[in-house]
Structure 1
Amino acid sequence: MLDEKAVSATIEESSTHDDPLTERSPLEEERRLVRRLDMRLMPVLCALYLFAYLDRINLGNARLQGLPEDVLHGDPTGVLFDWVNSAFYFSYATVFNFAGLLTVRVCLGVFEAALSPGVALYLSLFYTRDEIGLRIATYNGVAAVAGAFGGLLAFGIQNAHAGIPSWKLLFIIEGVPSVLLGFVAFAFLPNRPEETTMFNERERKIALERANRRTTADVGRVLQRIAAFMDWKVYAAGVMYFASNCAFGSISAFLPTIITTFGFSNAIAQLLTVPPYAVAAIVLGLFQYSSDRLRDRGSFAIASSIVGAVGYALLLAVPSNIHVRYFATFCVTSGTYGMNGAIATWLTDNLGSETKKATGLPLFQAIGQSGAVLGSHLYPLREGPRYRKGFAVNCGLDLLAALVAVTLTIVYRGENRRRDVQYGKPLPNAPVDTTELADKAPAFRYTP
């Protein structure tokens, strides 16, 4: 979706005769730079999230491997497990009681709290608005891969007959790589484009031109940080993220348990979590790729929300048909992951400046993670096997998210039309001065 003339003119102005890269066309240089970024950034970021998410969801697998009996005194109501699960979102694996398990889950949440909003902001420094959706989808899709991989790993560990409880072995195997990857990320991930040693001078010029395409990089604007708290669209996105994270938090901890209510053994239930996660990863990738190409976020957020709501409605309405209920888990996972990716990318696109993103994204994430706390308490054992309350709440929240997404789409499209009439249509990919007004700048256009 690049404007070749605009890109060529901008980059050629900064070219030098003695630069070996000038033998390539500007678009070829840019594509080469994007490939380098993909190879350098995405594997490390995806590995970080893979193991971060494994550490998050392995509690659901451990539940079927004896953790409640060993640590929570059997937990016949499931309430203690709910609190341990939600403790992650307030901010293990050598723990021996409820207090220890709760404490380390809180610590895990504290150290991971900045990961997702930080990654969205970090990627926006290197990728354009036409590219970032697929990269955020790739990053978020790793959570679905982790869900599938976690189920397979849990099945293998459960049948390993090791000398220690299988849930402890699961925590150790999935937890140690997270620590090691922290050092890898620190050493390998580049700093912001104007500072990193990854680029030569020619590549740095291209990277900075890309960073200023349809926006302008800015640093430390206090007024924009305040503006993020005053912008109702941040809170609207937070409501959608609250809904998707309520489902996200409950799926990660309770999908294996829900599948056991279909009549399968614990071991088989671990395996049957794999296909829904795998399909969710594919759907997320396809949705976000299409969203980038079409420059349309709202339609995919709406579609994902409705797919998730249909899944929960089926779980509510069809209590006995195992095939329909299992199909519903595919709808739930695909809708939830699709919604998560769409909403995060949508807000990142439309905050307009780096400093507003730096404030708006954590605020949005904080609202969303509150949904995960709720999701962690929607499936107590005493309400199984139907879990009517949990399914009904998630269904209602997904429909609410769809309604909010429709509202935002209408508002964004209307505001773009108003600015086109009042200020004229801006040139495609032209720099826009957002240093003072962020997304309120006359030449800035929202991604609807």
Structure 2
Amino acid sequence: MLMLVYFLGYLDRANLGNARIMGLPDDILDGDPTGVKFALINTAFYFAYITFQLPATIMGKKFSQNFWLGVAATGWGFCCAMQALTYNFANMFIARFLVGLFESMFSPNISLYFTYFFTRQEIGARLGTWFSCASLAGAFGGLIAFGVQQINSRVENWRLLFIIEGFPAVIVGLLCIKILPDRPDTATWLNEDERQLAVMRMSRGGLKEKPRTINARHIWLAVRDWKIYVYGVVYFGAASAASALAAFLPTIVQDFGYVGAQAQLFSVPPYAVGAVVLIITMPFSDRLESRGIPLTLAGLLGGTGFLLLIVSENVHVRYVSTFMICTSTFTSIGLAISWFPYNIGSESKRAAGIPLFQAIGQCGSVLGANLFPNAEAPRYFLGFGVSCGLLYLTGFCALCLTAYYRYENARRDRQYGQADRNAAVDTSELADNARDFRYTV
């Protein structure tokens, strides 16, 4: 169910790039010769997403998760469909802003929600498989856009695209409220023994908090934790590249020589390959209990892909580089969102820390959405160069974090003795600074 919701959500987030080459700028943006208006509309989503995700995630802890996530999906689906009714820049800006507001209630909450059900040895494969829907949505978004462009109608094709991709999220969001569980310790479909087992699993390496409660002290611990800001830098680089891909991959492919519906079709394979690599990588990272090294390698792969776009004029080499970039960005984000939650030692600290690092990271999405103005076409040296440097920075910061965690785990082992990583740890006071807490490296 969560995969389906996120698939529809990412379709609604990324469909602006497809709408661009369907004629949206000519119809409501006066042609947008500089590309600035389109970039601002694309950025409107991230203005809301960044601003509201911290309060939305903290507030979400006060509600049942099925209700909160269902309302989010229903809201963004409706606002996406309403983009079909826009007729000028201001209308579209407001609609995209509202899509971002409702999505801010969903994505940051998911990392926290998964920690209620899955242990640190299980979460990578689950979150990675869930996040692969972002890559699959990019692939299917191109296919759907290709199909919509074959429709002959009095309604512009880009308007039909928003309707077709928006309303399914409304229906699935309503289903979420009915079908999804809240937390395992409150689930009525579990018997008492199963609930006790679920509570034991939730407390491995940490300590379960009471439902619908917030530890205000741990929120301030999150704000003061330097590691969360380094997480933000890691996420910043990957999110910048992902945002640039979502908004401009069809346009970049078009500049390779493919036009119209053909450009939509050729934007599909890089996303599909990215999804496959992500799904393969995440279970291995669970088995090895290592996120930092794979994340470092993913950052280097993506940075090299952008470097090839800068230095090569060969169409085939440049197209192959888009596969490298898709693989890198989605694998990097999948590893990041499964690595960070279990290195933040309590539910309340996660409720603040996860949206905080994601808010910093989504500033990269704002940057990525503005790196490819029309004046830079077709080589986009500025956009490719900045994205290259940021993905290399992502890899470097991930390497620094994994080195720190390995050092800190070894120091605590020497000072306090070996800790059972599956035992409950009292993190109610010190969160991840508790003496028996150990980081995932």
Q: Deviations over 1:153-188 (max 9, x none)?
A: 100110121231110000000001111122111111
For normalisation by structure 1, the TM-score amounts to: 0.89
Q: Deviations over 1:250-289 (max 9, x none)?
A: 1101000000111111211101111100000011111211
Residue 83 of structure 1 corresponds to 40
Q: Report whether the alignment pairs 1:160 with 2:117.
A: no
Paired position in structure 2 for 1:107: 98
**Are residues 1:250 and 2:244 paired?**
yes
Letter in 2 for 1:158: Q
Distance 1:218 1:232 in 2: 24
Q: Quick one: which of 93, 97, 101 aligns to 2:88? A: 97
Amino acid aligned to 1:239 = V
- 3-state SS of paired residue (1:164): coil
Structure 1 counterpart SS, 2:423: coil
Moved more, 429-438 or 418-427: 429-438
Contact 2:421 2:438 in 1 (8 A): no
Partner of 1:409: 402
Q: Which runs of 5+ in 2 are unaligned?
A: 49-82
Q: Deviations over 1:224-254 (max 9, x none)?
A: 1110001000000001111111111111010
Amino acid at match of 1:55: D
Match of 2:228, SS state, is helix
Q: Percent identity?
A: 48
**What amino acid is the match of 2:144?**
L
Deviation, 1:89, is: 0.5
TM-score of the two chains, using structure 2 as the length reference: 0.90
* Distance (whole Å) between structure 2 residues aligned to residue 198 and residue 191 of structure 1: 11
Which of 19, 28, 34 does residue 62 from structure 1 map onto? 19
CA contact (8 A) 1:134 1:285 kept: yes
Worse overlay, 427-436 or 416-425 = 427-436
What corresponds to 2:108 in structure 1? 117
SS in 2 for 1:433: coil
**Structure 1 consecutive aligned stretches of length 4 or more whose deviation exceeds 6 Å:** none
Give 1:140's aligned residue.
131
Determine whether 1:378 maps to 2:371: yes
SS at match of 2:256: coil
**Corresponding residue to 1:277 among 266, 271, 278:** 271
| Distance in 2, Cα, partners of 1:365 & 1:429 | 27
Structure 1, unmatched stretches of 5+, are: 1-43
**Cross-structure match for 1:129:** 120
User: What SS does the aligned partner of 2:86 have?
Assistant: coil
Shift of 1:388: 0.3
Q: C-alpha separation between the residues in 1 aligned to 2:170 and 2:395? A: 38
Residue identity matched to 2:250: P
- Aligned match for 2:183, one of 185, 189, 192: 192
- 1:428, CA displacement in angstroms? 4.1
Letter in 2 for 1:361: I
Q: Which residue number in structure 2 is paired with residue 400 of structure 1?
A: 393
Structure 2: distance between partners of 1:214 and 1:113: 28
Report if aligned partners of 1:217, 1:435 keep a CA contact under 8 Å in 2: no
CA RMSD of aligned residues (A): 0.9
Alignment pair present for 1:323 and 2:316 = yes
Aligned to 2:207: 216
Q: Is contact 1:215–1:432 with CA below 8 Å preserved after alignment?
A: yes
Are 1:238 and 2:232 counterparts? yes
Question: How many residues end up aligned between the 2 structures?
Answer: 404
Q: Distance in 2 between matches of 1:359 and 1:427?
A: 27
> Match of 1:433, as an amino acid?
D
Match of 2:80 in 1: none
CA distance in structure 1 between the aligned counterparts of 2:432 and 2:318, rounded to whole angstroms? 44
The residue aligned with 2:219 is 225
Determine the structure 1 residue equivalent to 2:3. Answer: 46
> Match of 1:25?
none
Query: Residue 61 of structure 1 aligns to which amino acid in structure 2?
Result: N
2:431 pairs with 427, 430, 438, which one?
A: 438
Aligned to 2:162: 171
Partner residue in 2 for 1:303: 297
1:243–1:368 contact (8 Å) kept in structure 2 = yes
User: Which residue number in structure 1 is paired with residue 197 of structure 2?
Assistant: 206
Q: Distance in 2 between matches of 1:312 and 1:349?
A: 31
Q: Is the 8 A contact 1:308 1:398 kept in 2?
A: yes
* Cα deviation 1:11-45 (Å, max 9, x = unaligned): xxxxxxxxxxxxxxxxxxxxxxxxxxxxxxxxx11
State the alpha-carbon separation in 2 of the partners of residues 312 and 114 from structure 1: 32
Output the CA distance in 1 between the equivalents of 2:207 and 2:219: 16
Name which of 392, 414, 422 aligns with 1:421.
Answer: 414
Q: Which amino acid aligns with 1:86?
A: T
SS of 2:371's partner is coil
Give the SS at the match of 2:340: helix
Give the greater-gyration-radius structure (CA). 1
Using the TM superposition, name which of 141-150 and 206-215 deviates more: 206-215
For 1:256 and 1:198, locate their aligned partners in 2 and report how far apart those are by CA, in whole Å: 45
The answer (yes or no) to whether the contact 2:84–2:158 under 8 Å persists in 1 is no
CA drift of 1:412 comes to 0.2
